[in-house]
Amino acid sequence: MRRPLVVGNWKLNGTRASTRRLLSEIVAGLKSDVTSEAAVCVPFVFISQVAEQLADTGLLWGSQNVADQDHGAFTGEISALMLKEFGCRFAIIGHSERRHIYGESNVLVVERFKQAITNDLHPILCVGETLEEREKDDTFNVIEKQLSPVMEIAGVESFVNAVIAYEPVWAIGTGRAASTEQAQQVHAYIRKIIAGFNKSIAENLRILYGGSVTAENATALFSMADIDGGLIGGASLNAQSFLEIINSVK
């Protein structure tokens, strides 16, 4: 059985005060009998504060990236070991904003992914096509190109502790979510690729959908057979919407 997972991606947002406020509202509204796991991936500078505030609350936390190296002369990077020291469970890796705005290549993404796995940090590996690629009917190709190097270099076993997030680039922050059928089709394809290497790992792998998930569309998306929860951007910055999304998971 795959335990559903809902993860907030706060991106470049928040202050000390707003972080404290948002987390206390989320924690106060978390139901103890909820079936899903929930987490927030916050800017690096807030991780220490978040670790203190969320200890023993049931809400998990993580980062939005991780260094491709373990230590040394890599100015501006944060290692997986550092993140583990501050209690991170998850690290988002290969988000389309990293790939498209900061030029992170598939090869760099694999190195980051490997660092997370080696240090027992659970990577949330993001994959997804642009609108142009979808319109050219290239979606499956793009997904395969993003997944293959990770499978080849990190190995299928690394997916025992990993999560995949399918995030069509055209759906991120646009208010235009993929339809349930579009999302399910790609999720099933991702699971099929992994199953080609190892059926049981594929069966247990959590595949999240991300891209304009709201309290209104979450129930329908999360009811699809291969959608195991969501990676939530904008709607995770509002406690009530985020809680409704967490509670949409059955």
Which residue numbers are catalytic?
Answer: 95, 167
232 binds ligand PEP (CB under 6 A): yes
Strands 37-41 and 206-210: unpaired
Q: Total residues at the site for ligand PEP (CB under 6 A)?
A: 13
Q: x/- contact string, 201-220, with ligand PEP (CB under 6 A)?
A: ---------xxxx-------
Selected binder of ligand PEP within 58, 155, 173, 196 (CB under 6 A): 173
Question: Do the Cβ atoms of 80 and 60 come closer than 8 Å?
Answer: no
For the chain, strand residue ranges (E) read 5-9, 37-41, 60-63, 90-93, 122-127, 163-166, 206-210, 229-232
CB of 168 to ligand PEP, least distance (A): 10
How would DSSP label each residue in 114-157? Answer: HHHHHTT-EEEEEE---HHHHHTT-HHHHHHHHHHHHHHHH-GG
Sign of CA dihedral 148, 178, 164, 79: positive
225 to 44, 140, 171, 172, 196: CA distances (angstroms): 34, 19, 20, 22, 19
Dmax over Cα atoms in the chain, in whole Å?
Answer: 47
CB of 18 to ligand PEP, least distance (A): 17
> Quick one: 229 or 234, whose CB is closer to ligand PEP?
234
Selected binder of ligand PEP within 226, 233, 242, 247 (CB under 6 A): 233
* Length in residues, the chain: 250
Selected binder of ligand PEP within 234, 242, 246, 248 (CB under 6 A): 234
94 binds ligand PEP (CB under 6 A): no
Per the DSSP assignment, residues forming a β-bridge with 124 are: 92, 163
Q: x/- contact string, 123-162, with ligand PEP (CB under 6 A)?
A: ----------------------------------------
Q: Which residue has the tokens 């142009």?
A: 132
CB of 218 to ligand PEP, least distance (A): 11
Selected binder of ligand PEP within 37, 133, 167, 228 (CB under 6 A): 167
Question: Do the Cβ atoms of 9 and 95 come closer than 8 Å?
Answer: yes
> Quick one: 62 or 210, whose CB is closer to ligand PEP?
210
62 binds ligand PEP (CB under 6 A): no
List of residues contacting ligand PEP (CB under 6 A): 9, 167, 172-173, 210-213, 231-235
